Each structure stands twice: as C-alpha cells, then as structure tokens.
Amino acid sequence: MTSVKGLDVKSIYSASSSWWEHVPVAHWLVANIKPSTIVELGTHYGVSFFAFCEAAQQYNLDTFVYAIDTWKGDTQAGLYGEEVYQKVKTHQTQYFRQRSEMIRSTFDNASEQFGECSIDMLHIDGLHSYDAVLNDYNKWNLKVKEGGTILFHDWNVHEEGFGVWKFWSELKLSGEYQCIEISNGYGLGIATKTKNIPTWHDELKKVLAILKVKGEVLANLQEEKEKVKKIESKNEILNKHAKNLETIIEKKENIIRQQETYINEKTKSKIYQLAKRIGHKIKWIINLSNTKRTN
C-alpha cells in the first residue's frame, strides 16, 4: 500500500472551529503541491491557518503563510475579545514564527500589500454572505497566479445570510477554474485557475475518502476535548464552592465552640454561687440549732 503524503502531519493545536474536517486536505495540499505563498482571509482561532503551517513545517520549508483578520469577529462568527488574537499569536510565535505572519487588518486594506500574481494559494473564509465573498474574490483574485488555487470554505451552507454556495456555483460555470467540491463539514471548494485539469486534482480525488475519515476523527476529537474542558471548568467551580463551604463550616464551628465555652463558664459560676448560698444557709441553721440547745 502506498502511503498518502501529508496524512501523517500532526495537529497539536486545539480550538473550536468548523474547519477541522478539512485539516487533512490542507495538509495534503501543502505536502503535495507545495505552494510558496499562501494567504488566508479569515483566521479566527487559526485552525485552518495552523493546518497550512504544520504541513509547511514538515513538507515544504519554502511555504510562507499569511493570516489576515481583524481578530474582532463578524456578524456570523460573532464578535469576540482580544484573547482570541492572543491565543493565535502565542501559538504562531512559539511554533511558526519563521514561516508565517499575522496581519491584523481588514481584507480590503491588506490587499494593497500583495501584488498581482503573487499568491499560489488563497483561502477565502471571512464573512459568508454572497456580497462579502464576491467582494473578497474581486479584490483578491488577480493576486492569485495562473495555475494557483483558491479555497472557499462554507460553500455547502444554505442557511440565511450564507451565499458562498451561490458564488461557488457561478464560479464553476465561468469556465475559468478547474474545481473540486468537498461536501463534508461545511464544505470546501477548491478552484484552480487553469483551463486544463491539473494532475494533482486526480491524485487528490483518489485519496479524498481517507482524508475525509481523518477529518471526521479530528473534528470528533476536538468535540471531545471541548466536552472535557467544560467538565473541567465545572469541576473547578464546584471545587471553589466546596472550599467556600468548608470555610463557612469552619467559622460556624468556631462560633459554636466559643458559645460552648461561654455557657460552660457561666454555668460553672452559677452553680458555685448557688453552692455558696446553700453553704451559708446550712451554717446559719447549724448555728441556730446550737444556740437553741445551749438555751
């Protein structure tokens, strides 16, 4: 059996994303077609970004990956905080500083930094409305080399506000691209700018089934990791609560102990005074009876 190049790339990163199903495809693409310049529009937690970087690290040290995002979110991904950027930055700095760069910008503004025909692989994964994808494509497609490839995530989502499927069907009809449609997950469209089917398209199609299986495994693994994380954070809350309760119980026990001491002392002194009074009375009776006897 021949081994599938790229299938052995490991993902050590963990973050929530609908991209996990396609991570092995990204590994395969980098390992097999060895693009020099990859540009990603829409990185969020960086699952797709790091998939390209991991494969570059193992299979092609000449690949350089640019990740472009405002790292603020959008109406579909939701607005998020600074911690997302920090998480991605930390992992990128630790593992992929030499073969990647994070550009914090809008796609439109960042497009000025890239010249015509300078990109081998473009990944479009920003806002998924029809207008947004059309705009991203129009601003960036001339920057992709002849023979280069554009990846479209979410082409298979038909929910309200999602229009990649419409754009994708128009692109296929244009005849300017050779396309592969991967339908699992949210769908990944691969469009290569050429009139003839590249040989690697046929090779990719042959191994797609196995890449899909690995993708499902990675997605399930991530789901399990998130469940464990939720349980761990619930445990942490319960442990804190238990500790608080222990402190409260300790304080209450102290109060009870103090009250017991107080009561004991009070009781002791009352009995003493009573005994003293009884003692006086007995002395008085004895004296009285002695006096009566002598009389």
Ligand X SMILES: C[S@@+](CC[C@H](N)C(=O)[O-])C[C@H]1O[C@@H](n2cnc3c(N)ncnc32)[C@H](O)[C@@H]1O
Q: How far is the CB of 187 from ligand X (least distance, A)?
A: 13
Q: In this complex, which beta carbon is closest to ligand X, that of residue 34 or of residue 72?
A: 72
Segment near ligand X (CB under 6 A), from 70-78, 95-103, 249-257, 275-283? 70-78
Segment near ligand X (CB under 6 A), from 64-72, 210-218, 250-258, 279-287? 64-72
Q: In this complex, which beta carbon is closest to ligand X, that of residue 17 or of residue 37?
A: 17
CB atoms within 10 A of CB 99: 18
Q: How far is the CB of 17 from ligand X (least distance, A)?
A: 3
Question: What backbone phi and psi angles, to 5 degrees, belong to 254?
Answer: -60, -45
Q: Does the protein bind ligand X through residue 77 (CB under 6 A)?
A: yes
Segment near ligand X (CB under 6 A), from 36-44, 90-98, 180-188, 226-234? 36-44
> Which tokens hold the place of 223?
């789901």
107 contacts: CB under 8 Å, gap ≥ 6: 41, 42, 68, 126, 136, 139, 140
> Considering only residues 95-134, where is the footprint of ligand X by CB under 6 A?
106-107, 125-127
Q: How far is the CB of 104 from ligand X (least distance, A)?
A: 9
Q: Does the protein bind ligand X through residue 155 (CB under 6 A)?
A: no
Q: In this complex, which beta carbon is closest to ligand X, that of residue 34 or of residue 139?
A: 139
Amino acid code (one letter) for 211: L
> Which tokens hold the place of 277?
């009074």
3-state secondary structure 143-195: HEEEEEEEEEECCCCCCCCCCHHHHHHHHHHHCCEEEEEECCCCCEEEEEECC
> Which tokens hold the place of 237?
């809350």
Q: Does the protein bind ligand X through residue 156 (CB under 6 A)?
A: no
Q: Is 124 helix (H, G, I), strand (E, B) or coil?
A: strand
Within 13 A of 113's CA, how many CA atoms are on the CB side?
A: 14
Q: Does the protein bind ligand X through residue 69 (CB under 6 A)?
A: yes
> Which tokens hold the place of 172?
């296929």
Q: Which of 6, 24, 35, 42 binds ligand X (CB under 6 A)?
A: 42
Q: In this complex, which beta carbon is closest to ligand X, that of residue 126 or of residue 163?
A: 126
Q: Does the protein bind ligand X through residue 45 (CB under 6 A)?
A: yes
CB 31 within 8 A of CB 4: no
Beta bridge partners of 121: 38, 149
Amino acid code (one letter) for 245: L
Q: How far is the CB of 182 from ligand X (least distance, A)?
A: 15
Segment near ligand X (CB under 6 A), from 38-46, 114-122, 205-213, 219-227? 38-46
Q: Does the protein bind ligand X through residue 211 (CB under 6 A)?
A: no
CB 156 within 8 A of CB 193: no
Segment near ligand X (CB under 6 A), from 25-33, 68-76, 85-93, 168-176? 68-76
Q: In this complex, which beta carbon is closest to ligand X, that of residue 40 or of residue 120?
A: 40
CB 50 within 8 A of CB 19: no
Q: How far is the CB of 116 from ligand X (least distance, A)?
A: 21
Q: Is 215 helix (H, G, I), strand (E, B) or coil?
A: helix
Which residues in this chain contact ligand X in the complex, by CB under 6 A?
17, 19, 42-45, 47-48, 69-70, 72-74, 77, 106-107, 125-127
